[in-house]
Amino acid sequence: MLKQERADYVRKRLEELYPETPIPLDHTDPYTLLVAVLLSAQCTDKRVNLVTPALFALADNPADMATQKPLTVEKIIKPCGLSPRKSRAIVELSNILINEHDGQVPKSFEALEALPGVGHKTASVVMSQAFGVPAFPVDTHIHRLAQRWGLTKGRNVVQTEADLKKLFPRESWNKLHLQIIFYGREFCTARGCDGLVCEICTGCYPSRRTAPVIHSP
């Protein structure tokens, strides 16, 4: 298969497997989604969903969160890891939202990425899932699968994101990003598949006999 043929095959199969793509992080609005995505860095969505009910019971909007002490937030989110840094970022970004954005989550990549603790991937998730703006958030898991499927040779998530955007229609990005995550968790895990086991890996490369070299971002 050529690269575009592999991309078309991947998209078709993922659409068959995951016609519905519920957002895996529990939230009620753009602000709670932003906080949940920030917490998910180096943490599973499942664990984040266990932590956020207590956090949002304390404060589920910028005005209430801005009045909290980072240590109070840190104690609640400790199971998510990196809690000192994440707690400071949550309180600080809440203050910025109040002071600079009328208490609303901004609807631009530039403004989102200017917030403490918010990188391009987090901003992309919020823009796509909260506001419906086409984006293709790439984390280490999508980066790994894209390499296994021969869709990129990127050595970092920035290059992988650019390559995937060229291969897939813009209108498919938001859904496809979630479909790849779902498939990776179910069939193409870091240890459960080395590029030689799952349906899509073998479908993209039916003659592959050795595991591909994966460039870690």
Catalytic residue from among 26, 45, 107, 139: 139
Number of H helices, E strands in the chain: 12, 0
- 196, 211 Cβ separation under 8 angstroms: yes
* Torsion, Cα of 83, 84, 88, 91 (10° steps): 40
CA atoms of 121 and 49, how far apart (whole Å):
19
Distance CA 140, CA 186 (A): 16
* Phi, psi (degrees; rounded to nearest 5) at 180: -65, -40
Q: Write the single-letter amino acid at 47.
A: R
Under 8 Å between Cβ of 122 and 41? yes
Per the listing, tokens 């598949």 go with 193
User: Would you give the end-to-end CA distance of the chain in angstroms?
Assistant: 26
121 counts as catalytic: yes
CA–CA distance, 75 with 139 (Å, rounded to integer): 27
- Residue 204: name the closest of 181, 188, 186, 185 by CA: 188
Pick the catalytic residue from 26, 60, 121, 153: 121
**Residues taking part in catalysis:** 121, 139
